[in-house]
Amino acid sequence: MSSADGTARTAPGTGPATGPEPGALTAPAFSVVSGAQVQQALEGRETEIGDLVEAVYRLHGAGDSVNPPSFFLRFPDRPSSRIIALTASVGGDVRVDGMKWISSFPGNTTSGLPRASAVLILNDHDTGYPFACLESSIISATRTASSAALAADRLSRGRTRPVRVGFVGTGLIARYIHTHLAATGWSFEETGVYDLSADSAAGFRGYLERSGAKGNITVHGGAESLIRSSDLLVFATVAGEPHVHDVGWFDHAPLVLHVSLRDLAPEILLASANFVDDVEHCLKAETSPHLAERLTGGRDFIDGTLDDVLSGRVTVPADRTVVFSPFGLGVLDLAVGKFVHDEVARRGEPHVVDGFFHELRRHG
């Protein structure tokens, strides 16, 4: 028998502490969750998702997760594009395994399409059977934005709270980050916008105006003026290598959400306090922290993880530039995906694929 959320039930008397009894398992139903359903399930739930993301960071920090290195599928004829597999397993109350399969094709943006598209597969914790396939670009953007908003809050404690925010890169991720910041209590006197594409910058400004963002909105003609005039910076670009090199632009010690990971020259990181979501994951794939490690031959420039900050093991300096560089953990995708799946099931709206699993008798 399957539960309402599609996971397999075990025989009476079998609890999670002892595991399922032999012969007590059945295959779960398999459902498909569309992007529209994902958006409906997440709309207005920013605070709940923030609490969930924080809980998963703590689970990951405590070792109650599995988050192997991401696998990058690259193309010799399309060097700027890639498809990435993020496999993971989350314990705690989430109890789900699975994989996000996300493509990054920067050329899409010239046609107005978002850079990324994705699906998420959720697997039952006990049987290993997949029980859902979800559209995941919205899930991915949500977990990224929620992580950034959480980092902005926790890394700014003990510092003067930022009132001037600047966005370098104005695509879908920037929009989601702004939405999550606004929904979790942030309000800014100044919002700066910069993008290589004037159309994209204008579109983002239009979004800000429609969203009721308070304060002045300024579209900048270059990165320097935006960086110097912002005490909270969000980098959400498609840059493949550093394009910001001048350490002096950061003399005012801003808080930097380096979400796109490859914007800042290593010298800027070496002059800053650096926090990541996971050290091993972040220091690879030509990220700015990876380049800083290559330059110095070590990792001493990393001050800690976000979980170190959440748990009080590390204090964030108040008088230096602070850079948060999140590689993006698959455990977050799984947790948010499971939240969406359970919400869709609670509403009675899952698209169940009848008979998806057919050969269920081992011997016919």
Quick one: DSSP state of residue 120?
Answer: E
130-135 vs 116-123, strand pairing mode: antiparallel
Place of tokens 């960071």: 57
Output the pLDDT for position 362: 79
Within 8 A by CB and 6+ apart from 184, the residues are 46, 47, 50, 149, 153
Output the pLDDT for position 361: 82
For residue 68, pLDDT over 50 is answered with yes
Paired tokens of 97: 């395994």
Specify the long-range contacts of residues 294-297, CB closer than 8 Å, at least 24 apart: 294/266, 295/266, 295/267, 295/270, 296/266, 296/270
Q: What is the mean pLDDT of residues 73-86?
A: 95
Average pLDDT for the chain: 92
d(CA 9, CA 129): 13
Report pLDDT digits (tens) over 249-266. Answer: 999 999 999 999 999 999
For residue 74, pLDDT over 50 is answered with yes
136 with 149, same domain: the answer is: no
Output the pLDDT for position 360: 81
d(CA 80, CA 115): 11
Please, are residues 68 and 334 in contact by the beta-carbon 8 Å criterion?
A: no
93 with 159, same domain: the answer is: no
d(CA 52, CA 46): 10
Output the pLDDT for position 23: 58
Please, are residues 257 and 234 in contact by the beta-carbon 8 Å criterion?
A: yes
What percentage of the chain has pLDDT greater than the value 70? 94
* 172 belongs to a structural domain: yes
Paired tokens of 364: 């016919």
150 with 284, same domain: the answer is: yes
98 with 203, same domain: the answer is: no
* 17 belongs to a structural domain: no
Burial of 297 (0-12, 13-18, 19+ CB in 10 A): exposed
* 180 belongs to a structural domain: yes
285 with 190, same domain: the answer is: yes
Burial of 163 (0-12, 13-18, 19+ CB in 10 A): middle
* 2 belongs to a structural domain: no
Closest by CA to 176, choosing from 150, 220, 146, 201, is 146
Report pLDDT digits (tens) over 335-353. Answer: 999 999 999 999 999 899 9
Place of tokens 């220091």: 283
Please, are residues 218 and 193 in contact by the beta-carbon 8 Å criterion?
A: yes
* Angle at 301 (CA atoms; ends 300, 304), nearest 5 degrees: 85
* 89 belongs to a structural domain: yes
Number of domains in the chain: 2
Q: What CATH number does the domain containing 215 carry?
A: 3.40.50.720
115 confidence band (pLDDT: 50, 70, 90): confident
119 with 177, same domain: the answer is: no
164 with 309, same domain: the answer is: yes
22 confidence band (pLDDT: 50, 70, 90): low
Output the pLDDT for position 12: 29
Output the pLDDT for position 15: 38
Q: What CATH number does the domain containing 94 carry?
A: 3.30.1780.10
d(CA 159, CA 322): 10
For residue 112, pLDDT over 90 is answered with no
80 with 177, same domain: the answer is: no
Comparing 38-47, 102-111, 135-144, 226-235, the range with the smallest average pLDDT is 102-111
320 with 194, same domain: the answer is: yes
196 with 121, same domain: the answer is: no
- Residue 56: C-alpha distances to residues 20, 143, 147 (Å): 24, 11, 10
* 181 belongs to a structural domain: yes
Report pLDDT digits (tens) over 259-305. Answer: 999 999 999 999 999 999 999 999 998 999 999 999 999 999 999 99
* 264 belongs to a structural domain: yes
Output the pLDDT for position 14: 32
Place of tokens 């399969």: 101
219 with 280, same domain: the answer is: yes
Full residue range of the structural domain in which residue 94 is found: 31-140+330-352
d(CA 364, CA 343): 36
Output the pLDDT for position 126: 93
For residue 106, pLDDT over 70 is answered with yes
* 358 belongs to a structural domain: no
181 with 111, same domain: the answer is: no
Q: What is the mean pLDDT of residues 229-239?
A: 96
